[in-house]
Amino acid sequence: MRAAPGSPAPDEPPRKARYTPAAIEEKWRDRWERDRLAATPDDSSDPNFYFVTMFPYPSGDLHVGHWYAMTPSDTAARFVRMRGHNVLFPMGFDAFGLNAENAAIRTGVHPSDNTERNMANMRRQFRLMGAMIDWRREVVTCHPDYYRWNQWLFLKLYEKGLAYRAKAPVNWCPKDQTALANEQVINGLCERCDTPVTKKDLVQWFFRITEYADELLTFEGIDWPERVRVMQTNWIGRSEGAEFSFGVDGAADRIPFFTTRPDTIFGATFMVLAPEHPLVDKITTSARRAEVDAYVAATRQATEIERTSAERSKTGVDTGAFAVNTFTGERIPIWIADYVLATYGTGAIMAVPAHDDRDFAFARTYGLAIREVISADGTEHTDLALAYTGPGVMVRSGRFSGMTSEEGKRAVAEDAKERGIGGPSVTYRLRDWLISRQRYWGTPIPIVHCSSCGIVPVPEDQLPVELPYDVEFTPDGGSPLARKRSFIETTCPSCSGPAEREADTMDTFVDSSWYIYRYPDPRIDTAFMNEAVAKKWLPVTRYTGGIEHAILHLLYARFVCKALADLGHLWFREPFTHLRNQGTIVFKGSKMSKSRGNVQAPDEYVARYGADTLRLFMGFMGPWTAGADWDASGIEGVHRFLHRVWDIATAPPSGGVRDAELDGYVHRTIAKVTLDLEKYHFNTAISALMELSRELLHASGPSRGDGVRTLLLLLAPLAPYITEELWERRGGTTSIHRERWPEADLATAARREITLVVQVDGKVRDRLTAPAGLDDAAAEAAARKSERARAALAGRPVTHTIVVRDRLVNLVTK
């Protein structure tokens, strides 16, 4: 007769209890909740430590990518806690966003209802993870008690001149029907939906992040990955040079332009304006107008990808107007071309075809003059085959001729300054943060438009401007708020006359730019932050999150922190003292996302192996910062490990004497795991614990008992359920998660016996077992006695030896 799977045959003796994750995990979820294990006090005898991991968008499911982000962060936070800190590890939801609104258009379910339902499910999933989250401090950005302070932030920035309204050619996503910030355009595609982005002239709200460009480059006093600092530095794109202006021939207008090569100004044989440049219309001659207008119109229709492709051949149109090169006195033609960007510098350039690849190509195409003014060898050349962009000596440059290009850069800029036509200048690639969104599911911008008073901010005491629930979602994609008359129609706070509300909402990155200030007391309704409580926590001691936010969220959050500091609301200028980014989890080579339909659900793994196994596997896949391709085939390995831990820890204790070897092994493991967890090296920490478990498997006696205890403590932050259960079964009366982290004792950890490697001329020839701590002479003597080493020496004299204490002896003959 065959026993049913999983149940012992009736005639077998009763077996020892097996590891059954589902049962013990549910038991501890309840117990921890009942005991409020995750509730962090604001004051404790342990020093406070504010550990935050980026909060998720409530898509409805915590997929494998979320587990990869969250559970190792939870492990790191638990580790810090066991090491004697009072750790606040909060969670919330970045709950506004276009996904919910698009779903509403598709399915008719209101974004608010949909979001609430999704959050409820995700809270349940967080509970499965076993993350030690203080839910009393939850922040939900779509609730009026949160976004009210979004509006407050907007008003403060507005008062300070850091929020402003301007008409500009903005990035427009035709699918999402809204403007986008530059940071949200990835390779010309909408960050959300991969639709090619076009340009549109719109009046929009901006935050003046460029005001902080230089400070954002400093990263002072913060420990951030090099990679993120480099990405932000590239994004800000500081460029030193000079700004000059040339006058328009026969008109009063001057055209300012930026250049990094003032030394080439004598070679400026024409100018190029961006098609959107404000002077284009004014200076274009009537003979050229039709062609210019057509070109401008064509440019506007082109997508960002079409426009910025570097491979594309250069196109442009002559405006018929001329500028005067102040340095040469020449009249030079003014062209427009789409390779000049309206949003960089001044939207105009002096074209120096001899020394710029792009200008060279353009001049060749349209037969414009090319004049060499920088020479590599100091002699003058004609008929350049290519632009020369390197350094050299200035030629054909009036009194500057003979200077090196480096000298010339300064001299020309200084000369221009004296003559009042320009001077040294700095330009950034970073542009102001466009925060208006022509959508519903976001924070209403607290502004009223009054026909007599103009733009009027909503007074603080009238906040929040609540998002109306009852709006119409239509497939045309237009903003539901703009059509909601009862929302739009209002009275002017200033003159009480009829007025209209701003219909745009804020970019959701505004919401997430300051949520860390809200966590310490998310319920305070008199300020954006409970300063007294926040002072105990802020700034964030450690922050973790995906590398994909390197320039989006992380740059915005730094800006808002600095702005709030300047407004007198914060006492620090960097929000995140210490940052680490996990890499991206991909599935079969592409990033996991709901829209791609390749989301891997953790649920079946949790059901089959338990949350502990999945948590462990997240850390075991490889270096956390590297990310990984999702492949669950290795999950069995960590699951077997937990079974082994279970078997070891439930085995009855045995008598005997202490085992110094095993004690040493245990203490070396403590040292190793401690170091690894400090560095977020979960994979090698788990590996060390697997080794330890194998050592303990066949051990006995008191050393074994202590070893098992240590194993459980070291494993507790990684696998909170099984360790808690085993702790209790072994007699623990309080939670293992309130225990202190073990300390490695160096004397116990020290090896008594080592393997001494004997090399001859750097090649390994023998391995000797020797007592630890031999001095150099004794080690050398032992090495010289080695038969194998002598054979390798073959009688050659040893000229000198290298001894590495307790490791190797190298006998060198040459």
Contact 167, 343 (CB under 8 A): no
**Of 37, 105, 341, 770, the one binding RNA by CB under 7 A:** 341
**Of 247, 493, 623, 701, the one binding RNA by CB under 7 A:** 623
Beta bridge pairs of residue 448: 456, 501
Contact 171, 182 (CB under 8 A): yes
Q: What is the spatial distance between Cα 519 and Cα 794, in angstroms, rounded to a whole number?
A: 73
For 337-364, letters b (16+ CB in 10 Å) and e give: bbbbebbbbbbbbbbbbbbbebbbbbbe
Q: What are the angstrom distances between the C-alpha of 15 and each of 8, 362, 527, 697?
A: 8, 84, 60, 18
Q: What is the spatial distance between Cα 342 and Cα 334, in angstroms, rounded to a whole number?
A: 15
Cα angle for residues 535, 540, 546 (degrees, 5° grid): 155
What minimum distance in Å lies between the beta carbon of 609 and RNA? 12
In the complex with RNA, the residue whose CB is nearer, 38 or 189, is 189
Q: Please choose, out of 70-78, 229-237, 555-563, 714-722, the segment that lies near RNA by the rule CB under 7 A.
A: 229-237
325 contacts RNA (rule: CB under 7 A): no
655 contacts RNA (rule: CB under 7 A): no
Contact 621, 634 (CB under 8 A): yes
- What residues between 710 and 739 interact with RNA by CB under 7 A? none
345 contacts RNA (rule: CB under 7 A): yes
812 contacts RNA (rule: CB under 7 A): yes
Beta bridge pairs of residue 173: 178
* Residue 464: cis peptide before it, omega within 30 degrees of 0: yes
**Of 566, 691, 706, 728, the one binding RNA by CB under 7 A:** 691
- What residues between 561 and 600 interact with RNA by CB under 7 A? none
In the complex with RNA, the residue whose CB is nearer, 291 or 647, is 647
What minimum distance in Å lies between the beta carbon of 111 and RNA? 28
In the complex with RNA, the residue whose CB is nearer, 589 or 731, is 589
**Of 80, 162, 180, 274, the one binding RNA by CB under 7 A:** 274
**Of 681, 704, 737, 765, the one binding RNA by CB under 7 A:** 681
Q: What is the spatial distance between Cα 320 and Cα 334, in angstroms, rounded to a whole number?
A: 7
- What residues between 346 and 405 interact with RNA by CB under 7 A? 347, 349, 356, 358, 361
Cα angle for residues 146, 149, 153 (degrees, 5° grid): 145
- What residues between 186 and 205 interact with RNA by CB under 7 A? 186-187
What SS3 string covers 304-331? HHHHHCCCCCCCEEEEEEEEECCCCCCE
In the complex with RNA, the residue whose CB is nearer, 120 or 297, is 297
For 59-92, letters b (16+ CB in 10 Å) and e give: bbbbbbbbbbbbbbbbbbbbbbbbbebbbbbbbb
Closest among 541, 761, 690 to 83, alpha carbons compared: 541
750 contacts RNA (rule: CB under 7 A): no
Crossing angle between the packed helical segments 111-129 and 98-107, to the nearest 10 degrees: 120
Q: Please choose, out of 29-37, 60-68, 113-121, 231-239, the segment that lies near RNA by the rule CB under 7 A.
A: 231-239
670 contacts RNA (rule: CB under 7 A): no
622 contacts RNA (rule: CB under 7 A): yes
Structure tokens at 458: 């909503």
Q: What is the spatial distance between Cα 604 and Cα 357, in angstroms, rounded to a whole number?
A: 57
String marking each residue 775-794 x if it binds RNA according to CB under 7 A? --------------------
DSSP state of 525: S
Q: Please choose, out of 417-425, 464-472, 508-516, 755-763, the segment that lies near RNA by the rule CB under 7 A.
A: 755-763
Q: What is the spatial distance between Cα 408 and Cα 397, in angstroms, rounded to a whole number?
A: 10
757 contacts RNA (rule: CB under 7 A): yes
Number of residues that bind RNA (CB under 7 A): 81
- What residues between 631 and 650 interact with RNA by CB under 7 A? 631, 633-634, 636-638, 640-641, 643-644
In the complex with RNA, the residue whose CB is nearer, 321 or 349, is 349
241 contacts RNA (rule: CB under 7 A): yes
- Residues in the chain, overall count: 814
String marking each residue 277-316 x if it binds RNA according to CB under 7 A? ------------------------------xxxx-x-x--
- What residues between 425 and 444 interact with RNA by CB under 7 A? 427, 429
Q: Are strands 198-207 and 163-173 parallel, antiparallel or unpaired?
A: antiparallel
Structure tokens at 748: 């116990």
Q: Please choose, out of 55-63, 203-211, 251-259, 400-408, the segment that lies near RNA by the rule CB under 7 A.
A: 251-259
Q: Please choose, out of 25-33, 121-129, 171-179, 259-267, the segment that lies near RNA by the rule CB under 7 A.
A: 259-267
What minimum distance in Å lies between the beta carbon of 268 and RNA? 10
What minimum distance in Å lies between the beta carbon of 31 and RNA? 28
Q: Please choose, out of 97-105, 461-469, 619-627, 728-736, the segment that lies near RNA by the rule CB under 7 A.
A: 619-627
In the complex with RNA, the residue whose CB is nearer, 267 or 444, is 267
**Of 285, 496, 593, 755, the one binding RNA by CB under 7 A:** 755
In the complex with RNA, the residue whose CB is nearer, 121 or 233, is 233
Contact 280, 296 (CB under 8 A): yes
* Residue 539: cis peptide before it, omega within 30 degrees of 0: yes
Q: What is the spatial distance between Cα 25 and Cα 642, in angstroms, rounded to a whole number?
A: 13
String marking each residue 16-55 x if it binds RNA according to CB under 7 A? ----------------------------------------
What minimum distance in Å lies between the beta carbon of 690 and RNA? 4
In the complex with RNA, the residue whose CB is nearer, 511 or 695, is 695
- The radius of gyration of the chain's CA atoms, rounded to the nearest angstrom, is 34
- What residues between 519 and 558 interact with RNA by CB under 7 A? 547, 550-551
